Structure 1
């Protein structure tokens, strides 16, 4: 594996396990078997390394969502269609070995970490596309409400998929052991409910 890719992979794991603030460049360098000069040569700084970690998988999520959204057209699009398009690309990152990335982004989002600026623009563009489609499904609902739903869907998706095993441990019992597919399916159900909003009480 090339030095830059090895540094990104090691940093992704350490940042997710310990938190970005608790990981020094020296720790990344030692775990990757490189020297400090290599980190500065490829990334310039710790922030540059973090940006590289975040952007790599973010591009995969964005392209996956773009692909799924492109298939959704016409009046028959449902909240569940949008929930699938929102959640499944993150699941694909997990399946591709990106569990540490999902956990890291979820942790940074939960703490309001400014380091997410590297991918904020890309996510904002995709979120705007989802909000536009939600507006068609929920005419009359305030844009601020739809943005709130998007943010909650994002928090939930990253929290659950950032540690699927934790969710399984919380829910497992003898009569119904939960597997990863169960977790994802139920996550899509809940994101669907978030996108759909409360039932009409009129």
Structure 2
């Protein structure tokens, strides 16, 4: 009787299969993110990755098709949500009435929130690798999939900073993005003090970076 009761509570075979597939895919992505952060994209081989994830090469090929596509999915898993949050914050601002600081907050806060998340912090190291390794195919993927987000923010910055020429505006936005990437990495001199909570430290970082970026962008 007890055995039959357990059997009746088991998930249907097709549901178990979906859960197993999702679990395998997520395990591969999590392992890949960790290894790419530690060893870089070229330094982490598929053989090492599959061994660490406890799967075979066929599983990687089934879920992703190639190592290049796996790398892209590692980025997509984080950046889809990050940029959706950025655009949602930007769209909440009243058209034509938003301040420079508000637009910067929409750009900066979601990124810093991701970097302060336990799992998101590891991704920041992967992102740093992408900048350092100059992978053309990866840069093309990022531009094609997320370039529209940067264009929307650039349009708002241009509206708020009409005194800047196009080239000068791009220079300043690029430098602001560099400062944001540095703050997201957590490798700077400013570390959280023992009597400051994670949330308080996050808020301090957000506010300091907004003020810094606003001053740099708006300077004559």
TM-score by length of 1: 0.84
Task: Detail structure 1 runs of 4+ shifted over 6 Å in the superposition.
Answer: 176-179
Structure 1 vs Structure 2 CA RMSD: 2.4
Q: Quick check: 1:60–1:89 contact (8 Å CA) kept in 2?
A: no
Q: Would the alpha carbon gap of residues 173 and 10 (structure 1) be closer, same or farther in structure 2, given more than 3 Å must change?
A: closer
Partner of 1:33: 54
Corresponding pairs, count? 193
Partner of 1:107: 129
Equivalent residue runs for 1:110-129 within 5 Å? 110-114=132-136, 115-129=138-152
Q: Which deviates the most, 89-98 or 46-55?
A: 89-98
Q: Quick check: 1:39–1:45 contact (8 Å CA) kept in 2?
A: yes
SS of aligned partner of 1:106: helix
Equivalent residue runs for 1:74-85 within 5 Å? 74-85=95-106
Answer yes or no: is 1:188 the counterpart of 2:203: no
Larger Rg: 2
Answer yes or no: is 1:67 the counterpart of 2:88: yes
Unpaired runs of at least 5, structure 2: 1-21
CA distance in 2, matches of 1:96, 1:122: 25
CA distance in 2, matches of 1:191, 1:101: 23
Answer yes or no: is 1:142 the counterpart of 2:153: no
SS of aligned partner of 1:98: helix
Q: Quick check: 2:105–2:206 contact (8 Å CA) kept in 1?
A: no
CA distance in 2, matches of 1:64, 1:40: 31
Answer yes or no: is 1:14 the counterpart of 2:35: yes
SS of aligned partner of 2:98: coil
How far the C-alpha of 1:91 sits from its partner, in A, is 2.2
CA distance in 1, matches of 2:178, 2:131: 7
CA distance in 1, matches of 2:38, 2:98: 39
CA distance in 2, matches of 1:193, 1:96: 31
